[in-house]
Structure 1
Amino acid sequence: MALGHAWSVALLGIDGRVVEVEADLGGGMPGMKLVGLPDAGLREAKDRVRSAVRNSQHAWPGEKLTLGLSPANLPKLGSGYDLAIAVAVLAAGGQVPSTRLAGTVLLGELSLDGRVREIRGVLPGLLAARNEGFTRAVVPVGSLFEAALVDGVEVLGAARLAEVVAWLRGEEALVPPDPPGEGEPQAVPDLADVIGQPEARWALEVAAAGGHHLLLTGPPGVGKTMLAKRLPGLLPPLSPAESLEVTAVHSVHGSLSRRTPMVKIPPFVAPHHSVSLAALIGGGSGLAAPGLISRAHRGVLLLDEACEFGGHVLDSLRTALEDGEVRIARTKGSVRYPARFQLVLATNPCPCAPARETDCTCAPSVRRRYLAKLSGPLLDRVDLRVRMRPITAMATHEGSAPEATEVVRKRVLAARERAAARWAGHGWRTNAEVPGPVLRREFALPPKATALLDRGLDRGILTARGADRCLRIAWTLADLAEESRPDADHVAAALDFRERSAA
């Protein structure tokens, strides 16, 4: 009997675990058996690998072949194990030496003619391998652009199985990756394009400074979508750790750019209102794939025409808004995807949505039913609510030009730096991340400053969660005003943002 070993990586969400692939030859009638909780796509690897080996001019064993993937109780999904299976079989048959396999992970799908195809999730897979002490990886040539982002691992690319075999024999060298390119900076729309709407512009600045969620309500054409699209330009660039985390999500989702694979600016995602629950949150059979809210991690999720979305789709965001992640259970197991995004809701006040409110033909019950798509629990998690009015002729000819993104961004970054310095000891970076108990105990404001919140709680017009969010907004307003702590005026302004209704 002969035994061959190779290593690959299994992904559970964006978390990976190294999988040992064992090939055992002999001990019975010719045949092939694959064990270790493979899914349907992986079970088909038996036929893919056999054809790839034979079409690469290598002999396929004529004995009983048992393939084991360990840990055996870990679900194995997809075709990314093909290359490791083929190498393990060839090593068991003595066709390739095992010298270079130690400390090496092999990722890639095999075509029937022996080509090594690209797979998703190479970046998080290599990060997991590095964390478990592996120092070398062989990946498809087409995946080198993202594999090169991982430091501390020697990355090599292969276009065909025959090239991997020749490399293992010491006959040829594999392709090294090119240095990661900086690429062209992504252009973002400028805030100077938005005319008028001073209240909405101020709310956008507050949202950017504190990481708060935002609701914009108004008739068509007043600039709701324009403002929302300019929010990413006000946000600071991602830190190296955040950038790697966001890039890993995009790698699993399959949406990485070859030109600029490392995501360095906050992503912006704006799904159509017909999006399904699985597409937004994540889903699929076996193990769930990431949804659009995970693609928006550390960035902005815009739900334009929010009241056109299904009510169950909107309410599915509630847990993610609180926890900053989404946990999805499927038959093969439960996965976790990060989903800490800024939510921007933009909606018309009624279905007919005339340019002037006096021209509305909707009955009161129709308006209430339309806005009821935004449920109370969801709105309670939205910090800033702004009612936008139609642009007037006088507003389009203001004496001073609208502020540009760069001007507002300087104030936002300064406010974020003050907040980051204040919360550095706790591990938070924005005011929106701070738990309510911390604001009420360690950073409690004097009773005079919070008197309005107390009255709102007494009258039942404010929930405990709403009061905590008012405190977070007040701290953001103080940071923008370069004050050391909020006063009664900041709390009143924060409460005013919360009380502005979409009705």
Structure 2
Amino acid sequence: MLIKIHGSAVFGIEATTVVVEVNVDKGIGYHLVGLPDNAIKESNYRIAAALQNNGYKIPGKKITINMAPADLRKEGSAYDLTLALGILAASGQIRSEGIQNYIIMGELSLDGSLQPIKGALPIAIKAQQEGFKGFILPKENASEAAIVKDLEVYGVENIKEVMDFFDLEIPLERTYVDTRQEFYEHLNFPEHDFADVKGQESIKRCMEIAAAGGHNIILIGPPGAGKTMLAKRLPSILPPMTLHEALETTKIHSVVGKVRNKGLMSQRPFRSPHHTISSAALVGGGSYPQPGEISLSHNGVLFLDELPEFERRVLEVMRQPMEDREVTIARAQYTVTYPSSFMLVASMNPSPGGYFNDPDAPVTSSPAEMQRYLGRISGPLLDRIDIHIEVTPVPFEKLSEERKGESSMEIRKRVEVARDIQTARFSEWEGIHYNAQMDTKHIRQFCPLGESSKELLKNAMQRLNLSARAYDRILKVSRTIADLERAENINQNHISEAIQYRSLDREGWLG
């Protein structure tokens, strides 16, 4: 008897429906074809034990299973439940009416209980698009898949529940999620708040400008100055995610199995990989490509602490994804693309010892040592960072203050106003939403300077020995500062403030 049952495979952040054809005939043997990996080939042992422990068995006949399309590689143990039900239905141990109307996925334990799977959200989206009635999957993934409207999602804990559903028509409990309500309930409750930060008013101002314009930023300062604390609070002042951004972000995290029991993500991601990370782990890749840290921080913040400690080769592979806002991973037989539109926040000490050229510091470094240390970061990478700011330690008077600083919600309101101005400005251009994404043509159009502003910028570049690459960055940041003040044109104050934020472009910064 031949039975067709449906599963799904995830490539990139999109799913492809897999038709599992199970044929039980006279003879003896178990043949699994259709490019399964080792985890799927081992499934017959898990299936045999799970069925045995629930009063069923694999028939002693010739079983042929084809996973179509046969030229598409299938990976992982999530097909256990699909194969087990196909074998039961094809051997007549359970009724199979309506089984073809469902996508069925889940990893089996030996007692028949189900383990969570990866990629439940992309699979649910594809199932809804292709008109399937429902999606049966492990209970831990149910709230994630139930984000999708017009699809019946059933979370189950044991294979016995699924067998009884088809054979005895015992109904399963459907999982409901009010996506909009759940999304907006958690939208304005950031984990970290700028109100907790003592002092550092100038750095908070920099973070506000970076958030308003989507600018990459690097914080330079000695240990204990608060660089990491400030970076962790940046997502709290970014504009709230839209439903579209939340869905796209959740899909990426679903592919790597990080959304269990959470449903739709409502907070912007914050990723902080260790400096020993490999290039494949940062941008994505591997034998079977997976999203890297830059994709997991999509629509959020990627924080690289101790930037010079990262391998130079690892940092260099970020250059193209930072420009293109996506990363493409090519293999011999297929290519996958992951989105990677993130804000880069980097931090670093000014020298190997951690301190500036301060005679009172516990560890001092010579200017040559400091220059060599900073030289680990390439010019092209620094060229993609708009704001460089020095972070100084907070004095005791500020640390001991009882008064709380301005909250993240108050800062976010100003950021949202500036972002709305930019959205209206770039409405004619696809793929440009904020000032940091402007190219030379847009800078010339939207950043005109008066004579006094031009003269100020000219003098600053000459006196401070600013590099040529600093010119466009200063104009971009000036445009954002003007937007925060709701000013139509860039004036001298905006230019002078933006000039302060190019520390690493100054010749003699170390001296």
TM-score (norm: length of structure 2): 0.87
Tell me if structure 2 keeps the 8 A contact 1:199–1:386: no
Cα 1:77/1:433, change in 2 over 3 Å: farther
Give the residue type in structure 2 aligned to 1:298: N
Give the residue type in structure 2 aligned to 1:276: S
Task: Tell me what 2:4 maps to.
Answer: 5
Task: Tell me what 1:267 maps to.
Answer: 269
Separation in structure 1 between the aligned mates of residue 392 and residue 121 of structure 2, nearest angstrom? 46
Tell me if structure 2 keeps the 8 A contact 1:439–1:468: no
Task: Tell me what 1:422 maps to.
Answer: 425
Tell me if structure 2 keeps the 8 A contact 1:253–1:290: yes
Match of 2:278 among 276, 279, 287: 276
Match of 1:159 among 140, 157, 162: 157
Task: Tell me what 1:46 maps to.
Answer: 44
Q: Any idea what SS the aligned residue of 1:168 has? A: helix
Cα 1:397/1:34, change in 2 over 3 Å: closer
Shift, 1:353, TM fit: 1.7
Question: Does 2:471 match 1:462?
Answer: no
Question: Which runs of 5 or more structure 1 residues have no equivalent in the other structure?
Answer: none
Separation in structure 2 between the aligned mates of residue 214 and residue 301 of structure 1, nearest angstrom? 11
Give the residue type in structure 1 aligned to 2:3: G
Tell me if structure 1 keeps the 8 A contact 2:422–2:435: no
Q: Does 123-132 or 322-331 show the bigger shift?
A: 322-331
Tell me if structure 2 keeps the 8 A contact 1:439–1:471: no
Cα 1:417/1:21, change in 2 over 3 Å: same
Residue-by-residue CA offset, 1:411-431 (whole Å, 9 max, x unaligned): 111111111222234345742
Shift, 1:496, TM fit: 4.4
Task: Tell me what 1:85 maps to.
Answer: 83
Instruction: Give matches, 1:21-60, under 5 Å.
Output: 21-26=20-25, 29-60=27-58
Cα 1:73/1:257, change in 2 over 3 Å: closer
Q: Does 3-12 or 407-416 show the bigger shift?
A: 407-416
Cα 1:257/1:118, change in 2 over 3 Å: closer
Cα 1:14/1:55, change in 2 over 3 Å: same
Tell me if structure 1 keeps the 8 A contact 2:349–2:355: no
Give the residue type in structure 2 aligned to 1:353: G
Percent identity of paired positions between Structure 1 and Structure 2? 38
Task: Tell me what 2:337 maps to.
Answer: 336
Task: Tell me what 2:304 maps to.
Answer: 303
Separation in structure 2 between the aligned mates of residue 63 and residue 226 of structure 1, nearest angstrom? 63
Q: Any idea what SS the aligned residue of 2:224 has? A: coil
Tell me if structure 2 keeps the 8 A contact 1:324–1:341: yes
Q: Any idea what SS the aligned residue of 1:99 has? A: coil
Q: Any idea what SS the aligned residue of 2:191 has? A: coil
Tell me if structure 1 keeps the 8 A contact 2:96–2:167: no
Separation in structure 1 between the aligned mates of residue 302 and residue 321 of structure 2, nearest angstrom? 12
Separation in structure 1 between the aligned mates of residue 42 and residue 476 of structure 2, nearest angstrom? 53
Q: RMSD value over aligned CA atoms?
A: 3.1
Question: Does 2:405 match 1:406?
Answer: no
Give the residue type in structure 2 aligned to 1:337: Y
Give the residue type in structure 2 aligned to 1:233: S
Task: Tell me what 1:312 maps to.
Answer: 313
Residue-by-residue CA offset, 1:127-169 (whole Å, 9 max, x unaligned): 1222222231111122212122221210112222222122112
Match of 1:209 among 208, 212, 228: 212
Separation in structure 1 between the aligned mates of residue 450 and residue 53 of structure 2, nearest angstrom? 79
Shift, 1:207, TM fit: 0.4
Q: Any idea what SS the aligned residue of 2:205 has? A: helix
Separation in structure 2 between the aligned mates of residue 397 and residue 51 of structure 1, nearest angstrom? 63
Q: Any idea what SS the aligned residue of 1:114 has? A: coil
Instruction: Give matches, 1:353-502, under 5 Å.
Output: 353-354=354-355, 357-358=358-359, 359=361, 361-392=364-395, 402-428=405-431, 430-432=433-435, 434-440=437-443, 443=446, 445=448, 461-463=467-469, 467-487=471-491, 490-491=494-495, 493-498=497-502, 500-501=504-505
Give the residue type in structure 2 aligned to 1:327: T
Separation in structure 1 between the aligned mates of residue 398 and residue 138 of structure 2, nearest angstrom? 57
Tell me if structure 2 keeps the 8 A contact 1:219–1:356: no
Separation in structure 1 between the aligned mates of residue 47 and residue 398 of structure 2, nearest angstrom? 68
Instruction: Give matches, 1:71-110, under 5 Å.
Output: 71-110=69-108
Tell me if structure 1 keeps the 8 A contact 2:325–2:341: yes
Tell me if structure 1 keeps the 8 A contact 2:435–2:479: no
Task: Tell me what 2:291 maps to.
Answer: 290
Task: Tell me what 1:236 maps to.
Answer: 239
Tell me if structure 1 keeps the 8 A contact 2:43–2:80: yes
Tell me if structure 1 keeps the 8 A contact 2:198–2:398: yes
Cα 1:349/1:92, change in 2 over 3 Å: same
Cα 1:86/1:485, change in 2 over 3 Å: farther
Give the residue type in structure 2 aligned to 1:4: I
Shift, 1:232, TM fit: 1.2
Separation in structure 2 between the aligned mates of residue 485 and residue 103 of structure 1, nearest angstrom? 59
Q: Does 347-356 or 442-451 show the bigger shift?
A: 442-451
Instruction: Give matches, 1:185-200, under 5 Å.
Output: 186-200=189-203
Q: Does 378-387 or 329-338 show the bigger shift?
A: 329-338
Separation in structure 1 between the aligned mates of residue 110 and residue 195 of structure 2, nearest angstrom? 55
Tell me if structure 1 keeps the 8 A contact 2:81–2:107: yes
Give the residue type in structure 1 aligned to 2:338: Y
Question: Which runs of 5 or more structure 2 residues have no equivalent in the other structure?
Answer: none
User: How many residues matched?
Assistant: 496
Match of 1:218 among 210, 217, 221: 221
Give the residue type in structure 2 aligned to 1:498: R
Separation in structure 2 between the aligned mates of residue 73 and residue 470 of structure 1, nearest angstrom? 52
Separation in structure 1 between the aligned mates of residue 115 and residue 32 of structure 2, nearest angstrom? 21
Tell me if structure 2 keeps the 8 A contact 1:282–1:328: yes
Separation in structure 2 between the aligned mates of residue 231 and residue 150 of structure 1, nearest angstrom? 30
Cα 1:295/1:401, change in 2 over 3 Å: same
Q: Does 226-235 or 4-13 show the bigger shift?
A: 226-235
Shift, 1:485, TM fit: 3.9
Separation in structure 2 between the aligned mates of residue 420 and residue 267 of structure 1, nearest angstrom? 22
Residue-by-residue CA offset, 1:431-455 (whole Å, 9 max, x unaligned): 2463415505664636856688899
Q: Any idea what SS the aligned residue of 1:57 has? A: coil
Tell me if structure 2 keeps the 8 A contact 1:10–1:16: yes
Separation in structure 2 between the aligned mates of residue 220 and residue 371 of structure 1, nearest angstrom? 16
Task: Tell me what 1:117 maps to.
Answer: 115
